[in-house]
């Protein structure tokens, strides 16, 4: 019986190439493709594939992280394999936190992807070598720090600054003036903070900042 797969990527040429490669395998079948996260979620709910190969950042519509989280909440048994160009710690951790079973780079060899599909289909986790190294480093860091690493470390120093000012009630314009940045740049930082921390509103940001002890009003 073939492994039924949906491919989600915002580039048509990537979807076509992946579909051709996967369909060349005797035990795999691409049953549909999607160009954004929301379409991937809708088709996954309709077709119930075994695996969704998911890009992270899709230029239009819902991103891959949000779609992955929604899929895993709705149908936990469906596996999500993230296939992306991003190889840094932040994206790896966010993908795994969203519920992905595997994480592989678009620069990987064809057979590495096929191996990744087989691995997650069996219910095992697949991580490319650098991701494994980062997870081991993170585990060792947790041991050294007593197991108390906080999600705020996902934010850059600048993003932590912006988060603090937002939580204190400053407007985007005021923050821009304080940090000598454009309002558009502040808005971009705010969007990235919200995405990384999976928050939606300013009150949620304030609550988070209070919990993390980021609000020093002295």
Do 26 and 130 fall into the same domain? yes
Do 43 and 122 fall into the same domain? yes
Do 13 and 113 fall into the same domain? yes
pTM of the predicted model, to two decimals?
Answer: 0.64
Do 38 and 116 fall into the same domain? yes
DSSP string across the chain: -PEEEEEE-S-HHHHHHHHHHHHTSTTEEEEEEESSHHHHHHHHHHH--SEEEE-S--SSSS-HHHHHHHHHHH-TTSEEEEEES--SHHHHHHHHHTT-SEEEETTS-HHHHHHHHHHHHTT--EE-HHHHHHHHHHHHHHHHTTS---GGGGS-HHHHHHHHHHHTT--HHHHHHHHT--HHHHHHHHHHHHHHHT--SHHHHHHHHHHTT-----
Do 14 and 109 fall into the same domain? yes
Question: Which CATH number do you get for residue 13?
Answer: 3.40.50.2300
State which residues form the domain around 198: 151-211
Do 20 and 115 fall into the same domain? yes
Do 174 and 131 fall into the same domain? no
Do 115 and 157 fall into the same domain? no
Task: Tell me if 144 is assigned to some domain.
Answer: no
Task: Tell me if 42 is assigned to some domain.
Answer: yes
pLDDT digits (tens, 9 = 90+) for 17-69: 999 999 999 999 999 999 999 999 999 999 999 999 999 888 777 888 889 99
pLDDT digits (tens, 9 = 90+) for 118-176: 999 998 888 887 777 666 566 555 545 554 345 556 777 888 888 888 877 788 999 99
Do 30 and 79 fall into the same domain? yes
Do 8 and 70 fall into the same domain? yes
């Amino acid at each position: 019986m073939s492994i039924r797969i949906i491919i989600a990527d915002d580039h048509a040429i990537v979807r076509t190439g992946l579909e051709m490669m996967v369909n060349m395998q005797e035990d795999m079948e691409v049953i549909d493709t999607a160009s954004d996260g929301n379409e991937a979620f809708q088709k996954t709910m309709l077709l119930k594939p075994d695996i969704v190969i998911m890009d992270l950042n899709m230029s239009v519509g819902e991103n891959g992280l949000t779609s992955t989280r929604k899929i895993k909440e709705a149908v936990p048994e469906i596996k999500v394999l993230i296939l992306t160009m991003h190889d840094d710690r932040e994206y790896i951790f966010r993908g795994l936190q969203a519920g992905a079973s595997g994480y592989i780079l678009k620069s990987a060899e064809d057979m590495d992807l096929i191996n990744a599909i087989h691995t997650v289909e069996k219910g095992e986790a697949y991580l490319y070598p650098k991701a494994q190294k980062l997870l081991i480093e993170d585990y060792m860091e947790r041991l050294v720090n007593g197991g108390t690493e906080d999600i705020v470390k996902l934010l850059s120093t600048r993003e932590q600054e912006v988060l603090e000012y937002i939580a204190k009630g400053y407007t985007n314009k005021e923050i821009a003036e304080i940090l000598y940045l454009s309002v558009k740049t502040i808005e971009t930082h705010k969007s990235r903070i919200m995405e990384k921390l999976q928050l939606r509103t300013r009150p949620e940001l304030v609550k988070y900042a209070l919990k993390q002890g980021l609000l020093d009003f002295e």
